[in-house]
Amino acid sequence: MARKTTRAHEMAHFSPSAPRRDENRRSRAEIEFDEPAMLGAVFGQFDTNLVQIETRLGVYIAARGNRIQIEGPEEAVARARDVLKGLQNRLLAGHDIDAGAVESLIAMSSEPMLEGIITGDHEAPPIMIRTRRKTIVPRSATQISYMQALTKNDIIFALGPAGTGKTYVAVAQAVSQLMSGSVQRLILSRPAVEAGERLGFLPGDMKEKVDPYLRPLYDALYDCMPPEQVERRMASGEIEVAPIAFMRGRTLADAFVILDEAQNTTQAQMKMFLTRFGQNSRMVVCGDPRQVDIPGGDAQSGLADAVRRLEGVEGIGVTRFTVADVVRHPIVGRVVEAYEGKDS
């Protein structure tokens, strides 16, 4: 913990004050914590959270006692102050802090509309999804509109690159509604292989054959519910994970239905899937239109076709994520940006 001692020593020349400007539009701001015991969690082990904020925003942060002072460019200081307040509010609400939480608050600090969510302003209550294992809060501006769409639209298309939380947030919302009794079933699906008969060449029973293709959905599910509950609900039929081919001929009523990797559906598959919609149901269709892997290369993606036909139709919402919304490790966003910036 030597870094904290050094910080306290280096801070000695600061004088507590409200944010102020100098001729270079630099600023200093101070935050005082009412509960000093939480400072360790705010700082992170070996001050990793403070270092992350300093590196990403270009500010200097020093601490002494229960006070934290920030110095740097005026706008960056204001953002760092909001991030630190956001971390404090997460702890007060009983949430954990990790590198992802810090990164998401840094990203959201650039959006004025998110000030209430970051600082916990009572006039702008936080948007969140509660599940048995964790509470999910938005980690980008687009995730906020996405979470709102998940509560008001019947069918939601979520488009964008990997790492933006399209599927994860949808699964969390589905689990939340299943636990509250708003729906009776949770159905997770995605295209598995090019043709159903090819499953016969894989070892094991049907579940063992399709499970590898559905693993990302299982991962999100187990992250939101205790494993024993997942297994029990799957055994009872409350939770179903199956390839899209298994949806034909069914009516999916009282269900929260998620189709992942939808860019790999054909137009016929997408029409079949969407027309399974039943009473008291909600459908979320997730995919990245730039990552189409339909065999042959000639067939148009059912996802692109459906969005073209249905955007603007009452009861249907479309949320588009960009590389700026990537909420995994920051390097994922840089990788996606590098690939999208080059010609195919």
Query: Which helix or strand (DSSP H or E) is residue 330 part of?
Result: helix 330-340
Helix orientation angle between 206-224 and 166-180, rounded to the nearest 10 degrees: 80
Mean pLDDT of the chain: 79
Report the number of distinct structural domains present in the chain.
2
Shared-domain flag, residues 298 and 225: yes
| Residue 13: partners with Cβ closer than 8 Å, 6 or more residues away | none
Q: Which residues pair with 286 in a beta bridge?
A: 158
- Going by the DSSP 8-state scheme, the letter that residue 201 receives in this structure is G
What's the pLDDT score for residue 210?
67
**What percent helix, strand, coil does the chain show, rounded to 5?**
50, 15, 35
What's the pLDDT score for residue 64?
81
Q: Which residue has the higher pLDDT, 19 or 170?
A: 170
Shared-domain flag, residues 116 and 182: no
88-136: pLDDT as tens digits: 887 877 777 877 778 777 776 765 444 444 445 444 445 778 787 777 7
Domain ends where: 61, 94, 125?
125
Shared-domain flag, residues 118 and 181: no
Shared-domain flag, residues 31 and 87: yes
Domain ends where: 97, 125, 153?
125
User: H helices within 70-197, ranges in order?
Assistant: 74-92, 99-108, 115-119, 141-152, 166-180
Shared-domain flag, residues 180 and 304: yes
Top mean pLDDT of 93-102, 164-173, 196-205, 208-217 is at: 164-173
Shared-domain flag, residues 202 and 292: yes
For residue 198, give its domain range.
135-340
Question: Nearest 5°: CA angle at 170, between 93 and 338?
Answer: 95
Shared-domain flag, residues 219 and 292: yes
Shared-domain flag, residues 118 and 233: no
Q: Which amino acid is at 297?
A: G
Alpha carbon dihedral 246, 248, 250, 251, in 10-degree steps, equals 120
Examine the pLDDT at 312 and tell me if it is beyond 70. yes
What's the pLDDT score for residue 344?
47
Shared-domain flag, residues 118 and 139: no
| Residue 172: partners with Cβ closer than 8 Å, 6 or more residues away | 129, 131, 136, 220, 224
Domain ends where: 71, 100, 125?
125
264-276: pLDDT as tens digits: 999 999 999 999 9
Question: How much is the CA Rg of the chain, to the nearest whole Å?
Answer: 23
Examine the pLDDT at 252 and tell me if it is beyond 80. yes
247 lies in some domain: yes
Shared-domain flag, residues 223 and 330: yes
253-279 mean pLDDT: 93
181 lies in some domain: yes
Whole-number Å distance between alpha carbons of 143 and 209: 33
Shared-domain flag, residues 238 and 281: yes
pTM: 0.67
130 lies in some domain: no
- CATH number of the domain that residue 22 is part of: 3.30.1370.10
What are the strands, taking DSSP E only, across the chain? 20-21, 26-32, 60-64, 67-73, 129-130, 135-136, 155-159, 185-190, 239-243, 255-259, 282-287, 316-320
Whole-number Å distance between alpha carbons of 99 and 146: 22
28-69: pLDDT as tens digits: 888 888 777 788 888 888 888 888 889 888 899 988 878 888
CB 148 within 8 Å of CB 282: no
- CATH number of the domain that residue 282 is part of: 3.40.50.300
